[in-house]
Structure formats: C-alpha cells, structure tokens
C-alpha cells in the first residue's frame, strides 16, 4: 500500500510576479538597471563616506572650514555618531528579520 503525500505548502509567487504578471509582454517588464544608476549609487556612497568620516574622525583635527554644514557637524558632540550607529544596528535588525521570515515561510 503506497502512502500518498499531501501537499501542505502552497507555492507563492515572488513579489516580481505579483507586480509584473508573467502574461504581460516582455516590453512591459523592466530591464536591468542602467549604468547611470550604478554610478549614482557609487557617487552617493563615496560622498556619504567622505562626509561621515570628516564628521566623525577628521573634524577634531581640521580647523573651521567656513562651510556651514561641515562646521555644524564639527561642533556637534552627540548626533554626528547617530547615523553611523543607525546604519550598523539597522542592518543587523533587517538581516535578523529576513532570516526569521525565511524560517517562518519554510517551516
């Protein structure tokens, strides 16, 4: 007597298939991102790294620059560390949430 296995987990489509159903034409689906988007992401990351490293590390060594935003960050002793701490702790929470969601979906 053969044991019949009942399917208990219904496969769910990915978010991409929900937004862009497979029956749509290929022209309606978005293509890969453009190189300009990649260059903009790299430029924004480098700018954030430079401004953040100035605010946290180099502002104590460099005299007043005359640029209002940089001088405000140099005088601040508390909130200039907030963004750096939020990025690292936020990344940890996002990864933990994603892993927990994967455990929940695959259990």
Residue ranges of domains in the chain: 35-105
Instruction: Name residues of the chain where pLDDT drops below 70.
Output: 1-30
Which CA distances in Å does 10 have to 4, 19, 49, 101? 17, 19, 44, 16
pTM attached to this predicted model = 0.53
107 three-class SS: coil
pLDDT tens digits for range 66-89: 888 888 888 888 888 887 788 889
Residue 40 confidence (pLDDT): 95
Rounded Cα distance between 79 and 56, Å, is 10
What are the residue ranges of helices labelled H in the chain?
A: 15-19, 35-56, 68-75, 82-105
Residue 95 confidence (pLDDT): 94
């Amino acid at each position: 007597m053969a044991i019949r296995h009942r399917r208990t987990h219904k496969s769910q489509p990915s978010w991409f298939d929900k937004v862009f159903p497979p029956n749509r034409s290929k022209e309606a689906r978005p293509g890969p991102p453009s190189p300009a988007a990649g260059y903009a992401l790299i430029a924004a990351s480098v700018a954030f790294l430079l401004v953040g490293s100035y605010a946290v590390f180099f502002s104590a060594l460099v005299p007043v620059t005359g640029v209002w935003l940089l001088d405000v960050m140099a005088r601040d002793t508390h909130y200039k560390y907030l963004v750096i701490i939020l990025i690292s702790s936020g990344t940890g929470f996002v990864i933990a949430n994603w892993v927990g969601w994967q455990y929940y979906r695959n259990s």
